[in-house]
């Protein structure tokens, strides 16, 4: 596949070149183990070069008319539309995404690029009154300068573009570090799209590396003023600590342990469909996935039978097969972790209504019930195809169970009474929650983010302006001020 041969390089200051490290990052297909690419790792020296290039290029970019800046994003959108088949194949090969998942990711990438076109024109200044006669207070919206972006492996193309495009549209420059398991879709491909769209050299740099090589250099470096990180809460906590110590803004989109609640008046068949999608899309490797499915005891039997029956029909296998629902997990470490978690939970007393077998990185779906209230699996994020069915008695218990987690990202409530669902949703400590729908949603103009261990800050829409710009007060004194001495 051409992407994996042509783009297996660092991209710094408009040049494609190898890193200077003494080892290579190897990019594997998680389904069949095929070696896709070998990329010489970037060192601290390349990180510095990338940030310095961004710093130099950003000044002129910020001064560029935003009507001109937005043309880059219009062209990038057309490039992705023209290359959609190639990009789909790359997503399938590099991260084991199914055709359905690739289509979902590409749809959102295009939507976020459309929003970036508009975002370039959206920052507004203000003139505020003053108690001092003749004084004019001007408040300007300015780019923060240079932004560091660290993207994950599960939706690498989307979650890179989601921060990169708005940051650039608002007049910043960017240094992007993709996850080492998805260096092409999460890094080099993004750079290639923007290079071909005419983005001036230096404004977007991609360093393919690992903390084993660079440590905290990417977030400690003095140039970036903001770091946008998407990943686990454990790493996010470290990123936040380092950013705080270096007076940097941290936008953190972290893990989740979402609950999908099925009330006694829900449309059970529809709730089953929503729950199966919410739990098993992209093998459950989604921060918004419904880890826990809470079901009112009055409909528990009906829901459980229909849920298990539908999950049993999901096809596990080659993600390149359009009929496959569940492809491989990203690597053997993740596959082993999920399998071990299921084993430990069953040994701890849970009942497996369905237990998926494991072959390589392919892990079939499991459905567990009969969990003890203190079962460790209930309070953690499961990045794999494992559904937990938890019965409850009444709304108060549903809310209590939903909130018994350190996370607070997404959720859903299924009910025949929409306003009842909204009242319950307001009591659940999450950044996002959906009535009569899945837990997995993202839209370009609504605030996206979580509470508690699920992150800090928001992305999308107006939140992008808050994330990637700063305010500057300039006062103008018309006439002469009177000074006390």
Catalogue the long-range contacts made by 100-104 (C-beta closer than 8 Å, 24 or more residues apart).
100/281, 100/325, 101/281, 101/282, 101/319, 101/327, 104/281
Contact 457, 123 (CB under 8 A): no
- Secondary-structure percent of the chain, ordered helix, strand, coil, rounded to 5: 40, 20, 35
Rounded to whole angstroms, how far apart are CA atoms 61 and 14?
15
Contact 361, 327 (CB under 8 A): no
Greatest pairwise CA separation for the chain in angstroms: 84
Q: Concatenated DSSP letters for 219-267?
A: HH-SS-SEEEEES-HHHHHHHHHHHHHTT-EEEEE----EEEEE-TTS-
Residue 337 contacts residue 344 (beta carbons within 8 Å): no
Catalytic position from the list 287, 300, 381, 395: 287
Taking Cα atoms as reference points, which of 378, 441, 455 lies closest to residue 412?
Answer: 441
Q: Taking a C-beta distance cutoff of 8 angstroms, is the pair 430, 444 a contact? A: no
Task: Confirm whether 302 is a catalytic residue.
Answer: no
Active site residue 287: yes
SS3 178: coil
User: Between vectors from CA 466 to CA 462 and to CA 468, what angle results, nearest 5°?
Assistant: 110
Catalytic pick from 253, 300, 381, 395? 253
SS3 for 17?
Answer: strand
Q: d(Cα 253, Cα 246) in Å, to the nearest integer?
A: 20
CB 54 within 8 A of CB 205: yes
What is the C-alpha to C-alpha distance for residues 62 and 168, in angstroms, rounded to an integer?
A: 9
CA–CA distance, 93 with 182 (Å, rounded to integer)? 10
Q: Which amino acids are annotated catalytic?
A: 253, 287
């Amino acid at each position: 596949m051409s992407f994996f041969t042509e783009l297996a390089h660092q991209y710094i200051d408009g040049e494609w070149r190898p890193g200077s490290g003494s080892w290579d990052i190897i990019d594997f297909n998680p389904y069949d183990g095929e070696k896709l690419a070998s990329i010489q790792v970037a060192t601290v020296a390349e990180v510095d070069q990338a940030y310095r290039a961004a710093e130099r290029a950003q000044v002129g970019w910020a001064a560029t008319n935003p009507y001109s800046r937005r043309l880059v994003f219009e062209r990038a959108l057309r490039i992705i539309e023209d290359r959609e088949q190639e990009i789909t194949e790359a997503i399938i090969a590099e991260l084991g995404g199914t055709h359905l998942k690739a289509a979902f990711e590409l749809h959102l990438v295009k939507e976020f690029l459309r929003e970036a076109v508009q975002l370039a024109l959206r920052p507004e200044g203000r003139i505020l009154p003053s108690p001092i006669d003749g004084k004019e207070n001007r408040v300007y919206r300015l780019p923060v300068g240079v932004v560091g972006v660290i993207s994950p492996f599960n939706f690498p193309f989307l979650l890179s573009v989601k921060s990169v495009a708005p940051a650039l549209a608002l007049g910043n420059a960017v240094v992007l570090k993709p996850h080492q398991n998805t260096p092409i879709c999460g890094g080099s491909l993004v750079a290639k799209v923007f290079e071909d769209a005419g983005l001036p050299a230096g404004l977007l740099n991609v360093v393919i590396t690992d903390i084993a090589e660079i440590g905290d250099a990417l977030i400690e470096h003095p140039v970036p003023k903001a770091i946008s990180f998407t990943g686990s809460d454990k790493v996010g906590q470290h990123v936040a600590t380092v950013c705080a110590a270096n007076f940097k803004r941290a936008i953190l989109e972290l893990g989740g342990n979402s609950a999908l609640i099925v009330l006694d008046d829900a449309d059970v068949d529809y709730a089953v469909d929503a729950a199966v999608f919410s739990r098993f899309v992209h093998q459950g490797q989604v921060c918004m996935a419904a880890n826990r499915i809470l079901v009112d005891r009055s409909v528990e039997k009906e829901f459980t039978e229909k849920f298990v029956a539908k999950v049993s029909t999901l096809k596990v296998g080659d993600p390149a097969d359009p009929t496959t629902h569940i492809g491989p997990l990203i690597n053997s470490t993740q596959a082993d972790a999920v399998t071990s978690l299921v084993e430990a939970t069953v040994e701890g007393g849970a009942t497996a209504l369905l237990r998926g077998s494991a072959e390589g990185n392919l892990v079939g779906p499991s459905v567990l019930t009969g969990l003890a209230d203190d079962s460790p699996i209930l309070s953690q994020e499961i990045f794999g195809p494992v559904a937990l069915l938890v019965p409850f008695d009444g709304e108060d218990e549903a809310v209590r169970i939903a909130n018994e987690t350190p996370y607070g990202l997404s959720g859903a409530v299924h009910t025949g009474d929409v306003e009842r669902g909204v009242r319950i949703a307001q009591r659940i400590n999450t950044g996002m929650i959906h009535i009569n729908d899945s837990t997995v949603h993202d839209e370009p103009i609504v605030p996206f983010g979580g509470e508690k261990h699920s992150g800090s800050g928001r992305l999308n829409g107006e939140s992008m302006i808050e994330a990637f710009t700063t305010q500057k007060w300039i006062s103008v004194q018309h006439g002469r001020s009177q000074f006390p001495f």
